[in-house]
Amino acid sequence: MLPRYENRVQLVLALVVGLLLVANLFTLTLVAMTPPDRSVRAPVLFAVFTITLLVSLPGIFLLPRWLVRPYRQLVGEAERAPVATRPEGARDETEFVLETFQAVVAQLRAQQRELEKLSAQASARAASAEMFNERVVASIPSGLVAFDANGIATIINPPARALLDADESAQHLATLLRLSPELSGMVERCLQTGELYRRVEVSATTSDGRARRLGVTVAPVDPQPASNGAARGALCLLTDITEVAQLREAVALKRNLESLGEMSAGLAHEFKNALATLHGYAQLLQHLELDERARGAASALLQEVRNLSQMVTAFLNFARPQPLQLSEVSITELLADCAAELQPLYDERRVSFSVSGVFPEVRADELMLRQALINLLRNAAEAFDDSLTEERRVSAHGSVEADDNGGQRLVVSVEDTGTGLSPSELQRIFIPFFTTKTKGHGIGLALAHRVFTEHGGTLSAANSPAGGAIFTLRLPLETPQT
């Protein structure tokens, strides 16, 4: 590009020459208007001509050079341009300059089109990479949530929303992780301090109040946190390990029960023999001639021996399970029989009982299944506090759900409106001899748990969202392995 001062000098020079010509014309006019005296006109004309000549010649000589100089620079630039030129003999400068710059413009347009093509390819690759990343994130079976420094979820895949039971509008960690306060605290500490949590087990609840166990890993997005220790974001990986935790607890409970059964079966048998002797002596005392006080003591002794004998018999049945006698069992009829047998207890405890849902037939040992259901329903009726004045209800609801192996299983939920169970009680509820009642042996629920396990099913306990406890048993709708 030409310097701006050259254009200004050329403009000033042109103005000076123009003014001189105008001044010369004005002088000639004055001379023409003066008296026609040759002696007077000659010196004036000569002086004007001389001044005009001296001033105009340099301007006339320099002005074309300055006017042509940009053109010469343009020709020089065209000669240095890397384009094909015509032979020297046939070259015309004006045509050469035009051809050169047309070629340069054509090259620039070609390069522009190439840049546009490369830009379109880069945009397509970026869109493809983004779509691929979205598909990868969406196809991960585990939950994935990415938070920015403000705790806003920037990435969340469908499994994560399902595990966290969150709707589409939930973005901030306070609302997204509202059902798992423990996980929410971990993410906040990770954002504030950059702390890493690897394979931590946390608890969560669903919107309907069911307990859930999650295996989580929370890591800062930036491996080099800021100077104040805060991370620029956090990445959270979630896995539902509820069934794994339940199986782990069931295996641990089964091992404990096996060890307890092997150790105490023999001891219980000896107790039963001794109790039979005590029972005989107590009956003998009742037939002796005793006063009223002695007969009362003998009756009390006989009742205690009978209670202890029943407890030992129940424990022996638990410690030494019998082979299953399988047959087609109607759960509906079985629940009706259990309700009829427990009706006096329910009337005494002022408890109402209801049955709802569907109960398909299962192949099971009817006697063992009946005893297990009676233990569950009796436990539900005895769970109410005597001081509770509200309505006491126990309900059994049946449904069918798909299992992990492509089959189906029966789900029966026995729910009461009592006070529920504490976390420590939920962990120990199926251990033999553990009970929260003033009267009871702590064998009923342990025996029910073993019966359902032998049938290939499960029995779990939890607190109901409406209050009270809920026991859920699952039985496969197929022949259990014996």
Residues 73 and 93: their CA atoms lie apart, in Å, by 12
Determine the length of the chain. Answer: 482
Is residue 113 one of the residues assigned to a domain? no
Give the end of a domain, one of 199, 221, 240. 240
Does 261 lie in the same domain as 280? yes
Alpha carbons within 13 angstroms on the beta-carbon side of residue 5 total 0
Going from the C-alpha of 471 to that of each of 413, 474, 479, the distances in angstroms are: 6, 10, 23
pLDDT at 284: 74
Residues 471 and 375: their CA atoms lie apart, in Å, by 12
Is residue 441 one of the residues assigned to a domain? yes
pLDDT at 255: 74
pLDDT at 481: 47
Residues 214 and 259: their CA atoms lie apart, in Å, by 30
Helices 366-382 & 331-348 angle (0-180, nearest 10) = 30
Domain residue limits at 415: 326-476
Residue type present at position 324: L
Does 206 lie in the same domain as 342? no
Residues in contact with 55: Cβ distance below 8 Å, sequence separation at least 6, in sequence order: 16, 20
Report the domain count for the chain: 4
Q: Read off φ and ψ for residue 410, nearest 5 degrees.
A: -85, 135
Does 459 lie in the same domain as 411? yes
Longest CA span, the chain: 189
What is the dihedral sign for C-alpha 432, 436, 438, 444? negative
Is residue 368 one of the residues assigned to a domain? yes
Does 470 lie in the same domain as 331? yes
Does 53 lie in the same domain as 179? no
Residues 186 and 147: their CA atoms lie apart, in Å, by 12
Does 45 lie in the same domain as 60? yes
Residues 472 and 430: their CA atoms lie apart, in Å, by 13
Residues 474 and 38: their CA atoms lie apart, in Å, by 140
Q: Do residues 305 and 278 touch, judged by C-beta distance below 8 A?
A: yes
Residue 210 belongs to a domain with what CATH number? 3.30.450.20
**Tens digit of each residue's pLDDT, the chain (482 residues):** 444 445 566 566 667 666 766 666 666 666 666 555 556 656 766 676 676 666 666 666 666 666 666 666 666 666 666 655 444 544 566 666 667 777 777 888 888 888 888 888 888 887 777 776 667 666 677 888 888 888 888 888 888 888 888 777 777 888 888 888 888 888 888 888 888 888 888 888 777 767 788 889 888 887 555 555 667 888 888 888 888 887 787 777 777 766 666 666 666 666 777 777 777 777 777 777 667 777 777 777 777 777 777 767 766 665 666 677 888 989 999 999 989 888 988 888 888 899 999 999 898 888 888 888 988 898 888 878 776 667 788 899 999 988 777 788 899 999 888 888 887 787 778 877 677 666 666 677 888 888 888 888 888 888 887 778 889 999 988 654 44
pLDDT at 412: 92
Does 335 lie in the same domain as 311? no
Residue 388 belongs to a domain with what CATH number? 3.30.565.10
Does 344 lie in the same domain as 315? no
Q: Which long-range contacts (CB under 8 A, 24 or more apart) does 14-23 make?
A: 14/63, 16/55, 16/59, 17/56, 17/59, 17/60, 17/63, 20/52, 20/55, 20/56, 20/59, 21/52, 21/56, 23/52
Strands 352-357 and 393-402: parallel
Give the end of a domain, one of 256, 288, 319. 319
Question: Radius of gyration (Cα) for the chain, nearest Å?
Answer: 51
Does 340 lie in the same domain as 471? yes
Residues 386 and 438: their CA atoms lie apart, in Å, by 12
Is residue 112 one of the residues assigned to a domain? no
What is the dihedral sign for C-alpha 326, 329, 331, 334? negative
Give the end of a domain, one of 240, 264, 286. 240
Instruction: Specify the DSSP element, H or E, that contains 363.
Output: strand 362-365
Going from the C-alpha of 224 to that of each of 155, 267, 328, the distances in angstroms are: 21, 64, 65
Is residue 127 one of the residues assigned to a domain? no
Does 435 lie in the same domain as 349? yes
Is residue 440 one of the residues assigned to a domain? yes
Is residue 398 one of the residues assigned to a domain? yes
Residues 349 and 351: their CA atoms lie apart, in Å, by 5
Kindly list the strands in the beta sheet with 197-205, ordered across the sheet, starting from the edge strand earlier in the chain. Answer: 153-156, 143-148, 233-240, 211-220, 197-205
Residues 269 and 451: their CA atoms lie apart, in Å, by 21
One-letter-per-residue 3-state SS of 295-332 = HHHHHHHHHHHHHHHHHHHHHHHHHCCCCCCEEEECHH
Is residue 93 one of the residues assigned to a domain? no
Residues 160 and 146: their CA atoms lie apart, in Å, by 11
Does 336 lie in the same domain as 313? no
Does 455 lie in the same domain as 336? yes
